[in-house]
């Protein structure tokens, strides 16, 4: 672990399939990473991120840590699957443990680092009730809700599946390459549509077989992202729920860098969604959780260590 000063804490710059993550060690402290600090860090090209995973001391027995999640606009997020894998890799490198239980505002997450370095995260049960997603109006069947972009008689996107993975998602089904759609233009409109009182993650999904699909996501509070784990889970579950695939699929994240696959299984035994994929350490340093000022740690800049 990097030894931080009283005002600064250790952090690691990491990614999950390119989903930019800062894992910040807040253990032993009573304060939090402020929204102001998050915005400062996001604005710096060196520390730009999609989510901050702030690791705090556990609040309840039987858990390893409480994770506070912030988006790059300073708002709070309920869930981040790719970020959770990064936390597991960092803590596993530090402690030697392979199995973890985390508390988040969305609930309890169990995670496991495998021998091959991939990490599985139990994302819990999906939620389909319109008022719990939540949606602003009642839909008896959220496998298909009334929402479209473009002309009424020839919409560009329409009839998404809606659900929650601890955070709200809308999945639009498309027949051509997900990269051919102008998601940078449609994403903000859909994220902030009145039908989503808490905004929503917007995903384009192209099913390529009964066990594979390709996705691209506009992430709530983060914008276009290279990867979004909870969105991959939402797309996989929605595909199975609408009869497009089985309950286990490989999700090719179209914009991921480096390219990669998330394997998503919606277990029949308990309805839990399990996501398996990689995490990657980039470099480490220290930061002030109040102001966002930071410094790269030269000792670990190039040694490939994943620990905080």
> Per residue in 236-284, pLDDT tens?
999 999 999 999 999 999 887 777 899 999 999 999 999 999 999 999 9
Q: Which domains does the chain have, with CATH numbers?
A: 9-114+279-300 (3.10.310.10), 148-271 (3.10.310.10)
**DSSP label at 127?**
B
- pTM of the predicted model, to two decimals? 0.89
Give pLDDT, residue 7: 86
For residue 141, how far is the Cα from the chain centroid?
A: 25
pLDDT 10s per residue in the chain (308 long)? 444 557 899 999 999 998 999 999 999 999 999 999 999 999 999 999 999 999 999 999 999 999 999 999 999 988 889 999 999 999 999 999 999 999 999 889 999 999 999 999 999 999 999 999 999 999 999 999 999 999 999 999 999 999 999 999 999 999 999 999 999 999 999 999 999 999 999 999 999 999 999 999 999 988 998 889 999 999 999 999 999 999 999 999 988 777 789 999 999 999 999 999 999 999 999 999 999 999 998 765 445 556 67
Helix (H, G, I), strand (E, B) or coil at 257: coil
The answer to whether 24 touches 90, Cβ cutoff 8 Å, is: no
Asked whether the beta carbons of 142 and 128 are under 8 A apart, the reply is yes
- C-alpha 131/C-alpha 140 separation (Å) is 10
Candidates 242, 235, 225, 243; CA nearest to 263 is 235
Q: Which residues does the annotation mark as catalytic?
A: 80, 228
Cβ(264)–Cβ(275) below 8 Å: yes
Cβ 251 vs Cβ 264: under 8 Å: yes
């Amino acid at each position: 672990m990097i030894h931080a000063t009283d005002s600064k804490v250790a952090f690691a710059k990491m990614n999950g399939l390119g989903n930019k993550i800062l894992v910040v060690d807040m253990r032993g402290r009573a304060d939090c990473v402020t929204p102001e600090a998050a915005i400062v860090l996001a604005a710096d090209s060196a520390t730009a991120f999609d989510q901050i995973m702030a690791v705090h001391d556990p609040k309840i027995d039987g858990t390893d840590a409480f994770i506070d999640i912030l988006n790059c606009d300073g708002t709070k997020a309920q869930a981040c699957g790719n970020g959770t894998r990064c936390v597991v890799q960092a803590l596993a490198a530090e402690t030697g443990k392979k199995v973890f239980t985390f508390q988040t505002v969305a609930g309890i997450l169990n995670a496991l680092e495998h021998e091959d370095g991939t990490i599985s995260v139990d994302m819990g049960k999906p939620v389909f009730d319109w008022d719990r997603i939540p949606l602003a109006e009642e839909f008896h069947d959220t496998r298909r809700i009334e929402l479209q972009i473009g002309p009424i008689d020839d919409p560009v996107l329409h009839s998404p599946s809606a659900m929650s993975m601890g955070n709200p998602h809308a999945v639009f089904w498309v027949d051509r390459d997900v990269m051919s759609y102008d998601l940078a233009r449609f994403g903000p409109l859909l994220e902030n549509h009145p039908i989503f009182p808490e905004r929503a993650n917007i995903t384009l999904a192209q099913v390529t077989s009964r066990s594979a699909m390709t996705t691209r996501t506009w992430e709530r509070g983060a914008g276009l992202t290279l990867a979004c784990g909870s969105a991959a889970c939402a797309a996989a579950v929605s595909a199975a729920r609408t009869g497009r695939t089985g309950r286990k699929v490989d999700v090719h994240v179209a914009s991921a860098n480096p390219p990669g696959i998330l394997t998503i299984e919606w277990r029949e035994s308990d309805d839990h969604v399990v996501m398996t994929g990689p995490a990657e350490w980039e470099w480490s340093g220290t930061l002030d959780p109040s102001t966002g000022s930071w410094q790269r740690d030269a000792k670990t800049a190039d040694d490939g260590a994943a620990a905080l």
